[in-house]
Each structure stands twice: as C-alpha cells, then as structure tokens.
A = this chain, B = another copy of it.
C-alpha cells in the first residue's frame, strides 16, 4: 500500500479528541477508501496533562503549535484551535508556507481570512479544506463545491447553528421563554457559557458567508451579512407563529440577483424567520442543521444532519483528509480565487415578502390605532392581526402579519413608531420564508 498521509493536529478539545478516536476506530476502512493509511504523527494543545480519553503518547507533542507546520514528517496540518486570528491564523500561514496541506473547522478564520489563505494554498498547489467549518458532519461544502457544481445557484439558505435551533425547538415544545431555555441549554452543555456568538447569529453568519462564496462564485464578504439573533424572541412569538401554521427558525439566507434588477447584488442575512410547516426546514428540530441550495437545473437540494459535536465534526475533518489522500486538492472555493467575482451587497429594501411584527404595548385606548396608522402611512397592508395576552414588559401583545410588500415599507412603519410611549420594548420583526 502507498505511503501514509501524515497528519499534525493542533487543538485537542472535543473535536480534536474526536478526530483521534475516529481514525483509531475506522483505521482500516479509511485506508481502503483513501488508498493509503491516514496517520496522526504530531499534536499540539494548551494543556498536555488534561485527560482527553485518547492515548496521546503515540504522537510527538509540541508545545509550540506553530512548529507543527515546520515538521518534515507532516503532510497535512489540521487546525482545531478556533478563533479568527491568533494562533490559528499563524499556524495556517506557517503550514501553507511550509508546503503542507491545511484542513480546518474554523469558520471565523475562513470568514475573515479565507480568501487570502485560499490564494496562498493555490499559489503553493496545496489543499485548503474546511468541510467541518459549516454544518458539522453534513457534507455541504462538497455538495456545493462539487455535487451542485453544474448549476448556477440562485439561493442558498438553511439552519446553520444548532444551539439556536435547539433553543427555538425547546421554546416551541415547552412553551418556555428564551432566558429559561438558554439557561437550561447551558447547564446541559448545548450552549456555551458565553453564548453570544451563537445566539446573536454571528456563528451562522460566518457559515453563511462561506456558503455564499462557494455557491455563487462570489468573493467571500462576511462584513456584508446583516445579522439578527434570537435574544428578542418570546414564547408568545412562537405560539403566534404556530397558530398561523409556522415554526420559528434562525435562517441564514444568501441570494444573488443579476445587475439591473431592483435587488441586484449579493444579499446575505441571518435572521429569525417564520418557516411554513410544509417546508422541510420546519421539521429540522433540536440541534440538527440543514442547508437548502437552489440551482437552475437541479432544483432544490436539501442536506440535513448533525451540525456540531465531536463525532460529526471529526467525520467532516477526516473526509477532507481522505480527499487529500486521494489527491483531490482543487481550489477551496470551487474556482481559483482570482475567478471569484466581487458582488456589491444587495440592499434589503426592495425585497418583497410578508412580515411578522410583534409589539409589546401599553394596555390603553388608542395604541392599536397608532400602530395601524403607522402601517397605513408606510404603505404596509395588514393581512391578519391579533391583540392578546401579557408580554414580559407587563403590557398587551399585538402581533400582525403583513401582505407581501417591500421590506423598506415595513422598516418605514417601524421607524414611524420608534420612540412612541405606547411601545414597551423593541418591536420584533421576523421574515416569513415563503418558498
């Protein structure tokens, strides 16, 4: 059998230990599929003493992570440290510069430095792979880069953050409010102690910007993603959505429209959405992820699976290693970086959709008239409206769904109500996924 593919592993948290466990468990099968063995030869992490449940004594240990990229006995460096900059980025540059292939699960680093790293990998004819960075074990990077490669993709969207989906699914099944479910998720280890990256939508936005670049052949543009998280969602929003035949999901969506259209450019947004029950994303529950891609010949493709955790993420990392062992080293973003097109961000204003709006209002005469007047003056047509119940702020709840219309009109209506003493707290605006 051919020479083994020799791997250095940086970062030995849950995922790093999972990669070691996977290669141990499936060693022979991997060798049959890859055409040669895949062997870890060196590792590096912060704490050498910690028990990770795997035997590390077989591997060279390096205190200096960067030095992993300098070893002559290494063909591929796998980076599982995390963080957009710092040691992860230093290692990426060092490894590629030393002629190693590079595999990472680090969506933040790719969102910020992916194009530069991909260009460097191309120049040196080395692989830069990152299946594990988006949607965990689901092979969606491969699905877009290769499986759907014959298509002009017009839209890619999905549920990209398992923590948010777990929280929203649990709020739905238990009728609980956000804070209580978050606290429980943290206790169970489904949410980080510092959950901001997840629940504020940043993690999903990192992933979305990567998918958009791959899908549309556009230059990755994380800064252009409009981001809203799930902190403002209350139990009543989910109940209202249910009553209307929807489920609430945090959806990342990217679309590209041709020049000359009113929505021209690259549109990227992470936002809580009402997903109709007949749509497959409505049935993605718990910590699962799912990605939908729409192509001009293939139609709608759906990929679903576990978006995080040691096993699924290790599965994606080792899939990249098998690709490299097989000699499949092509460009990171499906085409050379120079062939990616810079697309201007598309403004949201002209997008036409139905909207869900929820207000906590003071329970006194005239408030409903004030809201209705703002809608009328902004040219927003109301399809249905309900006033009921108590909000966390102690007022009444007004929830409405608009007819289809431009988003700028909804923004205008909300601006007209901004600062009104009738409103207790910020209004909640969710988009309705009508696809």
Least CB separation from A305: chain B residue: B301
Bound: A297/B25 CA distance, A: 10
Bound: A138/B140 CA distance, A: 12
Question: Interface residue count for A (Cβ, 8 Å)?
Answer: 58
Q: Is the CB of A26 within 8 A of B150?
A: yes
* Given A22-B150, A315-B297, A305-B305 contact (CB < 8 Å): no
Contact for A315 among B150, B280, B316, B334, CB less than 8 A: B150
| Chain B residues whose CB sits within 8 angstroms of the CB of A314 once the complex forms | 150, 297
Q: Is the CB of A319 within 8 A of B147?
A: yes
Q: Is the CB of B139 within 8 A of A147?
A: yes
Within 8 A of B (CB), among A283-338: 283, 295-306, 311-312, 314-319, 321-323, 326-328, 330-331, 334-336
Interface stretch among A27-35, A186-194, A412-420?
Answer: A27-35
Contact with B along A150-164 (1 / 0, CB 8 A): 111000000000000
Least CB separation from A277: chain B residue: B283
A18 CB-CB contact with B under 8 Å: yes
Given A138-B147, A299-B312, 13 more A-B residue pairs with CB atoms under 8 Å apart are A29-B152, A33-B149, A131-B147, A137-B298, A139-B147, A142-B146, A146-B319, A149-B322, A150-B315, A150-B319, A298-B311, A299-B305, A304-B304
A60 CB-CB contact with B under 8 Å: no
Least CB separation from A139: chain B residue: B147
Within 8 A of B (CB), among A115-138: 131, 137-138
A225 CB-CB contact with B under 8 Å: no
Least CB separation from A318: chain B residue: B150
A272 CB-CB contact with B under 8 Å: no
| Chain B residues whose CB sits within 8 angstroms of the CB of A22 once the complex forms | 150, 297
- Between A35, A139, A298, A304, the greatest number of chain B beta carbons within 10 A of the residue's beta carbon is seen for A298
| Chain B residues whose CB sits within 8 angstroms of the CB of A330 once the complex forms | 35, 326-328
A309, chain B: closest CB distance, angstroms: 8
A199, chain B: closest CB distance, angstroms: 24
A349 CB-CB contact with B under 8 Å: no
Contact for A139 among B29, B143, B316, B336, CB less than 8 A: B143
The 4 A-B residue pairs with the shortest CB-CB distance, nearest first, are A139-B147, A150-B318, A298-B315, A137-B298
Contact with B along A4-23 (1 / 0, CB 8 A): 00000000000000100010
